[in-house]
Amino acid sequence: MIIVMASRKQEDIDYVVSRIEALGYKSHIIVGVERTVIAAVGDERGKFRLQSLESLPHVEKVVPILKPYKLAGRELRPEPTVIRMGSAQIGGDRFCVIAGPCSVESEEQILETAQAVSAAGAAVLRGGAYKPRTSPYAFQGLEKEGLRLLEKASRRCDMPFVTEVMTPEQVPLVEEYADILQVGARNMQNFGLLKAVGKSRKPVLLKRGMMSTIGELLMSAEYILSEGNAQVILCERGIRTFETETRNTLDLSAAPLLKKLTHLPVVVDPSHGTGRWELVIPMAKASVVAGADGLMIEVHPRPSEAFSDGAQSLTPQHFKQLMEEIRPLLELSGKRL
């Protein structure tokens, strides 16, 4: 339920919160430009008891939240969520390009890539230290050493970095290093992991599962938000279809649709979304036009030697070209890097 406050006084808000919590609901206060609203989240069955709060003088009205993703939805919070880390910003009037290798392979590789993507205009570095691989015999990542190397590259280039965390047990270590925690497509419905990153103070980049609907992605975001972490970034990275020419089918309609349904920033990953490097630039441009808040792009200094995802990785030269080609489109969309 949404409790729309008639009063903006802190003591009145505190009083309504205490009444909501006494009824066994969690409260989330949203201070808007026009008015303050309080979301009471909990067991749907006791809704009528919350309705009685309407009789309080400082409450304007009590209305049901219609969408099941109460905290992620726009109903309760129409203004976009903007996430800031150092000089980087995700959401709002800025467009954020996240770039780097699929996996961190060596100090030279991550430093060279970080310098190249930073020089071309990327704001956030990416790189996997813990890799979710289909085969247990494939390269699994440099793990803690990978985190250390990412931190070094990120400091040297003065850009925050995002890296994947695969289990709840890894969260304390990964959050010590990373600026943004990535939850991968394969873990989108790992509810234990979602709860664990929900307790973190670091922003979370949540990738859409390859067999998940947009509604399910939003419910997974809801897990993180309901644990108290408001800094969630959604990532469309392609879904499985009957098509075999591409690794996945990039569902670009997810970008404008998510922007309509949620206040959370939305980034598109055309690297995993297509699996083919030559499709990355056109789909990156299409993502800008579709209204995304950013891109996630895999870049490797020598894609043919990459330990993972070489076929979809751009060279630094092609990445520079991507940045040049999106610039005029960003201007048209009224966004800046």
Which spans of this chain sit near ligand PEP (rule: CB under 6 A)? 102, 128, 132, 184-186, 207, 237, 272
Residue nearest to Mn ion (CB): 102
Q: Is 164 in the site for Mn ion (CB under 5 A)?
A: no
CA distances from 237 to 44, 56, 198, 295 (A): 33, 47, 21, 10
Q: How many helices (H) and strands (E) does the chain have?
A: 11, 14
Reported as half-sphere exposure (CB side, CA atoms, 13 A), residue 307 has a value of 20
Least distance to ligand PEP, CB of residue 132, Å: 6
Closest to Mn ion by CB, 160 vs 273, is: 273
Least distance to Mn ion, CB of residue 50, Å: 45
Q: Is 269 in the site for Mn ion (CB under 5 A)?
A: no
Q: Which of residues 36-55 bind Mn ion (CB under 5 A)?
A: none
| Contact present, 156 and 166 (Cβ < 8 Å) | no
Among Mn ion, ligand PEP, none, what binds residue 237 when CB lies within 5 to 8 Å by partner kind?
Answer: ligand PEP
The CA-CA-CA angle for residues 189, 205, 166, to 5°, reads: 55
Least distance to ligand PEP, CB of residue 128, Å: 5
Among ligand PEP, Mn ion, none, what binds residue 202 when CB lies within 5 to 8 Å by partner kind?
Answer: none
Sheet containing strand 36-41, edge to edge, reads: 26-31, 36-41, 2-5, 59-63
Q: Which of residues 303-332 bind Mn ion (CB under 5 A)?
A: 309
Q: Is 102 in the site for Mn ion (CB under 5 A)?
A: yes
Six-digit token string for 322: 């991507």
Segment lying near Mn ion (by CB under 5 A), choices 100-108, 144-152, 226-234, 277-285: 100-108
Q: Which residues pair with 89 in a beta bridge?
A: 84
Q: Is 162 in the site for Mn ion (CB under 5 A)?
A: no
The CA-CA-CA angle for residues 119, 273, 157, to 5°, reads: 20
Least distance to Mn ion, CB of residue 298, Å: 6
Q: Is 142 in the site for Mn ion (CB under 5 A)?
A: no
Q: Is 105 in the site for Mn ion (CB under 5 A)?
A: no
Query: CB-based contacts of 75: which residues, under 8 Å, 6+ apart?
Result: 2, 65, 66, 67
Least distance to ligand PEP, CB of residue 70, Å: 26
**What region does 58 belong to: left with phi over 0, alpha with psi -120 to 50, or beta?**
alpha
Would you say how long the chain is, in residues? 337
Q: Is 62 in the site for Mn ion (CB under 5 A)?
A: no
Among Mn ion, ligand PEP, none, what binds residue 144 when CB lies within 5 to 8 Å by partner kind?
Answer: none
Segment lying near Mn ion (by CB under 5 A), choices 60-68, 96-104, 133-141, 166-174: 96-104
Per CB under 5 A, residues contacting Mn ion are 102, 309
